[in-house]
A and B are shown apart, each in its own frame.
Chain A
Amino acid sequence: MSESTTAATGIPKEIERFNIIFRIQHVLMFTTFLILSFTGWGLKYAHDPEGLSSIWIRIWGGPDTAGLIHRIAGVTMLFDFVWHVIYLVYLFATKQMTINARTTVIPLPKDIFDVIKNFMYFFGLSKEKAKFGKYSYAQKFDYWAVFWGMFIIGFSGYALAFPMQVSYIIPSFATGWIWELLGLMHSDEALLAIVFILFWHFYNEHLKPEVFPMSWIWITGRISTEQLKHHHPLEYELLFPGEAKKEKKG
């Protein structure tokens, strides 16, 4: 967004969508996510299919090592999350990031209408797809799913990995059921996260005809103005108001 928006000199071919820090945070997030999924899966489904989980876990160095890998990856992921939040606070504090309805990732009522509009389009009830700002509802869903996962899976995972430290802050009335609940939360929500990534994220960012085999933004951080106009028209209008007006007239 640092690019000039003066329409008089023409518009740039591409703009930066995610800076290097966001890209590093994303890479850390998905590498630790994959490692956690792979090592955690063997423990969640230790019983079935019979014997196969033992083989799978042996690939990860056996249960002792797999457990260690899982803990290291988990702590790394939590650090990544904390870093992201602190970085956002820094961006807001230094006014490098401001809240605008067209560029914010915060869910707005418009997102609900966008979902309805898109469903109508899917069923042929509407001729037009929903028009998005910087983040479509699909992308917002993707983003906040990680927050949900961090609070539910991240906290429960931390408690399970360091039970003695965490036990001091657990109120006495909860000790009878909290551990059981933490285990269930961790494993059930981890499954939800895996299913979510496998369907939602993989379809939207990998399998969709227009992005297959993947959207390259995660490496380059840049999106072409052409794509921006197509996928994020409301942001395009905000960034290049002159150009957008001309196109509408023409």
Chain B
Amino acid sequence: MSQKTFAVAAAPLLFLFFLLPSPVFSQESETCLDCHNAMKGTIKAQSGAMVDLNVDTEKFKASVHEMLPCTECHLKFSDASHASSGSAVPSDILSLSSKISAKFSSDPIAGAACIKCHEEVYQKVLSSVHGKNILEKKQTDGALCADCHGSPHYITKAKDGKSPVSRRYQVGTCGKCHGNQEIIEKYKLEENVMDSFSESFHGRKLLLGHTRAPVCSSCHNAHDIRSKSDPLSPVFGKNKLETCGKCHKGANEKFVPAITHKRPGPIPHYGEKLLILLTMGVFAFIVIHVLLEAFADIRDAVFRKKEDK
């Protein structure tokens, strides 16, 4: 068989590539992304929110949601164009979307649609201190899904090193609010959490890459996060025994006060001042003594040579 005949015979088989599993990427997403990948900038939606039009195809394909068609979450829209309205939105999503519309103003239905697949987790969030802040207190600067996980278009697994909730980035993600002075004052949050964590043994070890050092969610939980004054919080009173005990077997009541986010009390504070004073005092004495002795030795060697011998 000549090369040419082989090529002709094999050519029709090339269509098999289309059957390979790699482009699970939905056909419909392709249609939307044809435009949205190229579009830049924001427009004002009916609700008044500024909506970023750009969706980066490459990053979307790398996300865990790459196989979902756009209308899976953007229920308002139909497959083809923006003109025809989409299928009827289920009532539970509609009611949830109205509750979060102030927070998730660009497309509240899409923000509520997470619950279709992530029901259990979403319910936990809604009953958490973060969720109640949005549902009950009607605040817009609190955390909901995208504030911690980033855009749903580009979301990756938490175990993936790039995720904002990964071990590497989680503390910084929580710090966007918990290290923000305005938010701390507005919600009367514990004010020293970021510094106290990074100064602590936990924070230092995490920074160095210790594999078992805890991140925020290790002690405070992730989705069902609660105020430390909530009896259901893992860091409320005696719950700490169990929470610390996850890593520190046999954690008891005398051990658990070891880690707090409070500023050090007067004893450690002045204790450290005293230790620094001692260190500086000893340091001053030994440096002065060593230098003087060295100079005296040089002086003796240069000027008193003859007297010695």
Contact = CB atoms under 8 A, between A and B. Distances in A.
A121 interface: yes
Contact of B290 (A43, A47, A179, A199): A199
Output the residue of A46, A176, A180 with the most chain B CB within 10 A: A180
Contact of A54 (B207, B212, B257): B207
Interface stretch (A105-113, A165-173, A220-228, A238-246): A165-173
Given A191-B279, A192-B282, A199-B286, A164 B271 contact: no
B240 to A, nearest CB: 12
Interface extent on B, as a size class?
Answer: 35 or more
B207 A46 contact: yes
A236 B170 CA distance: 67
A209 B198 contact: no
Contact of B254 (A118, A167, A183, A188): A167
Residue in B207, B278, B287 whose Cβ sees the most chain A Cβ within 10 Å: B207
Given A163-B255, A167-B252, A184 B204 contact: no
Nearest to B200: A183
Residue with the highest number of chain A CB atoms closer than 10 Å, among B209, B250, B282, B297: B282
A40 to B, nearest CB: 11
B205 interface: yes
A188 B265 contact: no
A79 to B, nearest CB: 24
A90 interface: no
A87 interface: no
Contacts of B212: 64
Interface string B240-276: 0000000011111111011100001101100110011
Given A122-B295, A167-B254, A175-B257, A184 B268 contact: yes
Interface string B51-90: 0000000000000000000000000000000000000000
Summarize A's interface: helix, strand, loop or mixed.
Answer: helix
A43 B251 CA distance: 23
B258 A163 contact: yes
B248 A163 contact: yes
A14 interface: no
A202 to B, nearest CB: 9
Given A67-B210, A181-B271, 6 more contacts: A63-B210, A63-B211, A164-B252, A170-B254, A180-B264, A195-B283
Nearest to A159: B258
B268 to A, nearest CB: 4
B213 interface: yes
B264 A195 contact: no
Interface residues of A, number: 46
A196 B209 contact: no
A154 interface: no
Contact of A184 (B248, B252, B272, B287): B272
Interface of A: 42-43, 46-47, 53-54, 57-58, 62-64, 67, 118-119, 121-124, 160, 163-164, 167-168, 170, 172, 175-177, 179-181, 183-185, 188-189, 191-192, 195-196, 199-200, 203-204, 208-209
Nearest to A181: B268
Contacts of B295: 122
A179 B258 contact: yes
Contacts of B264: 177, 180
11 contacts: A118-B293, A119-B289, A122-B295, A175-B254, A180-B265, A184-B271, A185-B275, A192-B279, A192-B283, A200-B290, A203-B294
A168 B253 CA distance: 10
Nearest to B204: A46
Given A180-B265, A191-B279, A168 B254 contact: yes
Contacts of B297: 208-209
A203 B207 CA distance: 36
A203 B258 CA distance: 39
Contacts of B301: 209
A122 to B, nearest CB: 4
B109 to A, nearest CB: 43
B292 interface: yes
A166 B271 CA distance: 20
Nearest to A176: B257
Contact of B208 (A46, A123, A124, A172): A46
Given A170-B254, A188-B276, A191-B279, A63 B205 contact: yes
